[in-house]
Chains A and B, each alone.
Chain A
Amino acid sequence: MKTQMKNMTAQNPLRRKFLKDSTALMGGLVIGFYLPVKGGRAYAADAPPKPAQPAKQIFPPNAFIRIATDDSIAIVVNKSEMGQGVYTSLPMLIAEELEADWSRISVESAPVAAVYNHTAFGMQMTGGSSSIPSSWEQLRRVGASGRIMLIRAAAQQWGVPENECHAENSQVIHAGSGKKLSYGKLADAAAKLPLPDNVKLKSPKDFKIIGKATKRLDTPAKINGTAQFGLDVYLPGMLTVLIARSPVFGGMVKRFDATEARKVPGVQGVYQVPTGIAVAASGFWPAKTARDLLEIEWDEGPGAALSTAKMRAEFLALAKQPGDVAHKDGDTVQGFKKAHKSVSAEYEIPYLAHAAMEPLNVVVDLKPDHCSIWTGTQMQTMDHAMAAKTAGLKPEQVEIHTTFLGGGFGRRANPRSDFVIEAVQVAMAVALPVKVVWTREDDMRGGNYRPMWADHIEAGIAKDGKPLAWKHTLVGQSIIADTAFAGFLIQNGVDVTSVEGAATLPYVIPNLQVELHSPKNEVPVQWWRSVGHSHTAFVVETMIDELAHLAGKDPVAYRLAILPADSRYRGVLKLAADKAGWGKEKLAAGHANGVAVHKSFDSYVAEIAEVSLENGKVRVHRVVAAVDCGMVINPDGVRQQIEGGIVYGLSAALHGAITLEKGRVAQSNFHDYAPLRFSEMPQVEVHIVASSEAPTGIGEPGTPPIAPAVANAVFTLTGKRLRRMPFDQENFA
């Protein structure tokens, strides 16, 4: 339909943006200002930067700033925006040192290029709550370099010494004469200057932007419907593709009949691809209708034998067997002999789906010599390489456009590039631009879950109540095994992400041994917000709570008594206890508080949860959180992330479980895998510990403490220890 096509062009934000940029470029209005390799020369450019060489120096090659003649400044952000606020916090780092007018800052997502690699991981990716810590130094240096070059350009133009000039609010000012030039007027000259050698960063006391609560730059687009997520990309002539994948992990198509499916109006074709049967149609609805009509016989393979009940029994049995030693202090055998009292417990923790609100999707436009991909990915470098390999193209023939991510939580950083490889395979089969859409059911049943765990902990205390011995055995699949990360994240047979938060404890425990079993099976597993911490905080912090009760001590006082005097855990624990009125404020009848404290991604978070029982189920009314994440870039961003981390963890603690029967995932959608709903939302207060330490992670650390805080509160209320997640399988009525 002609009118529709026209409409489509007009409505396509990508297209609109392209036109806008082209128009601007043709009018010569945009002058790129990129900061290049140290020692190289800056250059003015009117096109996106070319991939640069990887760099070893602290200040790497850059292509982060673009100043236009109208004084608008675009910051190219090399991290994916999935809600964690990097499209605001990273520009703040640059703008601070650049002395930029914050009101004129906008954001562009970076293309895939080595210049945009993560400073610690050596690849372009977003994860591990590391965007701020890894960019803190780098992006401030980028901004400061830009400022120095702009001042130099102005000083040269005026014929005055540089040290008589300063920059503020996107202008260079000569104090003596009162002369002023805006950045837009200086960008062209500045871009021709060599990169400065001596870049001095501001003292934190001079910060004007860093540390101030700052509104998110992406909010306007996210409240008027214009923010573009992967699912919102429409290309001319593009087909929507749904794939029927095996109902069992590892299963393959034996035979299929698409006769009825092909009859659905709008269906363009049905193709066998490595992951299943792909239906390509004019839109989602015909593709879905046709997919429902496919008749497929599967060769299910060994995955068909998987059942959660059986796995749980096997895991729990393994938890009592010696495993690979992840950590050993002292001698636990002797420690338990000397213990005054001891306790042991086993824990059951299920698989979890990430269940981001935006189901997975990828748009691929594959040509014989080029491949353009639009998707919300957290893992650009690997996806880029795997797409090129799959399509048989050179890396420079492949480009990835990172859209907004409708939630990531780790799922969009697949170490096997599952969703991107599959979409390229589909594009190769269909030979037209395609959008591969996962339905909610596909997404929920698509594996790559947080691993299921069984743990066993035995702990003993001395006469004074302090811990004397601690033996912890963990059983769960390795996320890292068989991935490119195995080389540095599996040490002496132990996946360090499996035991993070458990292998070393903040508390003084003279005899400690932690062992790990990493059984293998067909269920693909993956990092899920806070990775290993998502389960280790629960088992460790509920057991510490048990020890406090065994010792007859208050849980907060007990923790403070067994934390070293210089521990940063103390600050958040005391702040949370103080703000929650721990032990002072009287709670409503039938309510109780519980506490937990945990460090993850180098940040410390204590949470105190107030709970009651409603109709025999746990109800959380209030959570008081205290966080120490070093220096804070955007306080409101920190609050958002702790609020979000709590809700994500609470959803899992109360309701989350993926289970299998005959190899099939029992859950399919939000009715049987229930995230926390509005009416279940507790009040959340976030308190930030003032700090002059370097900033640490914030996207994930809010998640780990909530489950143990709630479980500990339930114990105080009912005397029952919750050692199985989720908690809604317990009925207190």
Chain B
Amino acid sequence: MITLFINGKMTKVDADPNTPLLWVLRDHLQLTGTKYGCGIAQCGACTVHLDGRAVRSCVTPVSTASGKQVTTIEGLAETTLGKTVQAAWQEVDVPQCGYCQSGQIMAATALLKENPHPSESQISAAMDGILCRCGTYNRIRSAIQMAAEQSGGAK
């Protein structure tokens, strides 16, 4: 049994320690907001926070998450910053198919937590690993800038 803290709640799962965190979230816990896109950390659809930092859950063995705080899209609204980012996403009406958006939002929130006022190039660098096939990148940029402005950098 592996003990996980997911979205503030303690959960025990019976899984092979090598199982990627992604599949524990999805198959064991039905936290389906975190998406599978590539399985090799190329697309970022599986991005979650591990102790506040963005990680690719598809290549993160569940054992390394043991005892750490895992935040998924389902728990993001627990924080003021998470709420602000989601509100900006709503305001800009970012998603199209929506499949990559959990990963985009998780990556954006981690960026803003670390760097409340990212420059254009810092946004590009932080978001470059999260693919979108529908072409929402410019709206994502607008939403991040809006969230940065609204959160005023106060964390």
Please report A residues at the B interface, Cβ cutoff 8 Å. 1, 4, 7-8, 11-13, 81-85, 215-216, 218-229, 231-232, 234, 240, 265-266, 282-286, 288, 355-359, 404-409, 437, 439-440, 636, 640, 643-648, 651, 669-671, 675-679, 681, 683-684
- Residue-wise interface mask of B (114-144) relative to A, using a CB-CB cutoff of 8 A (1 in contact, 0 not): 0000000001110111111111111111000
SS class, residues of chain B in contact with chain A: loop
- CB contacts under 8 Å to A, within B66-100, are 72-74, 76-77, 86, 89-90, 93-100
Give which listed residue, B33, B36, B40, contacts A226 with CB less than 8 A: B33
Contact A8 B30 (CB under 8 A): yes
Of all chain B residues, which has the CB nearest A649?
B135
Bound-state CA distance A234–B100 (Å) is 20
Bound-state CA distance A232–B34 (Å) is 10
Bound-state CA distance A282–B124 (Å) is 38
Residues of chain A with a CB closer than 8 A to B141's CB? 678, 681
**Given A223-B95, A357-B132: A283 touches B27 (CB 8 Å cut-off):** yes
**Given A234-B30, A670-B131: A357 touches B97 (CB 8 Å cut-off):** yes
**Given A83-B96, A223-B101: A228 touches B134 (CB 8 Å cut-off):** no
Bound-state CA distance A240–B37 (Å) is 16
Q: Count of chain B residues with Cβ under 8 Å from any Cβ of A?
A: 62
A33 vs chain B, min Cβ distance (A): 29
Give which listed residue, B37, B74, B95, B130, contacts A358 with CB less than 8 A: B37
A286 vs chain B, min Cβ distance (A): 8
Contact B133 A234 (CB under 8 A): no
- Residue-wise interface mask of B (38-58) relative to A, using a CB-CB cutoff of 8 A (1 in contact, 0 not): 111011010000000000000
Residues of chain B with a CB closer than 8 A to A684's CB? 135, 138
Bound-state CA distance A407–B77 (Å) is 26
Contact B98 A679 (CB under 8 A): no
Contact B105 A647 (CB under 8 A): no
Residues of chain A with a CB closer than 8 A to B139's CB? 643
Residues of chain B with a CB closer than 8 A to A12's CB? 30
Q: What 12 new A-B contacts, CB under 8 Å, besides A231-B35, A285-B19, A357-B132?
A: A4-B28, A11-B31, A215-B93, A216-B95, A231-B36, A357-B131, A358-B99, A405-B97, A644-B134, A669-B39, A678-B127, A678-B140
**Given A216-B93, A356-B97, A358-B99: A675 touches B30 (CB 8 Å cut-off):** no
Residues of chain B with a CB closer than 8 A to A234's CB? 30, 32
Contact B138 A225 (CB under 8 A): no
Contact B95 A224 (CB under 8 A): no
Contact B42 A669 (CB under 8 A): yes
Residues of chain B with a CB closer than 8 A to A643's CB? 135-136, 138-139
Residues of chain A with a CB closer than 8 A to B28's CB? 4, 283
Residues of chain B with a CB closer than 8 A to A409's CB? 133
**Given A265-B16, A679-B128: A227 touches B29 (CB 8 Å cut-off):** no
Bound-state CA distance A466–B135 (Å) is 37
Most buried by A among B30, B34, B39: B30
Contact A11 B30 (CB under 8 A): yes
Contact B135 A284 (CB under 8 A): no
Bound-state CA distance A265–B15 (Å) is 10
Residues of chain B with a CB closer than 8 A to A218's CB? 95, 98
Residues of chain A with a CB closer than 8 A to B77's CB? 224
Contact A284 B96 (CB under 8 A): no
Contact A85 B27 (CB under 8 A): no
Bound-state CA distance A283–B24 (Å) is 9
Give which listed residue, B15, B38, B96, contacts A644 with CB less than 8 A: B96
Contact B35 A357 (CB under 8 A): yes
Bound-state CA distance A485–B1 (Å) is 54
Give which listed residue, A220, A221, A223, A284, contacts B27 with CB less than 8 A: A284
Bound-state CA distance A282–B14 (Å) is 12
Residues of chain A with a CB closer than 8 A to B95's CB? 83, 216, 218-219, 222-223
Contact A357 B37 (CB under 8 A): yes
**Given A85-B96, A216-B93, A407-B99: A225 touches B32 (CB 8 Å cut-off):** yes
Of all chain B residues, which has the CB nearest A214?
B93
Bound-state CA distance A416–B26 (Å) is 30
Bound-state CA distance A1–B134 (Å) is 39
Bound-state CA distance A81–B40 (Å) is 27
Bound-state CA distance A355–B100 (Å) is 13
Of all chain A residues, which has the CB nearest B126?
A678
**Given A357-B100, A671-B40: A231 touches B32 (CB 8 Å cut-off):** yes
Contact B96 A648 (CB under 8 A): no
B136 vs chain A, min Cβ distance (A): 7
Contact A406 B140 (CB under 8 A): no
Ranked nearest first, the 8 interchain pairs of A and B with the lowest CB-CB distance are A225-B33, A647-B135, A406-B99, A222-B98, A83-B97, A83-B96, A11-B30, A283-B27
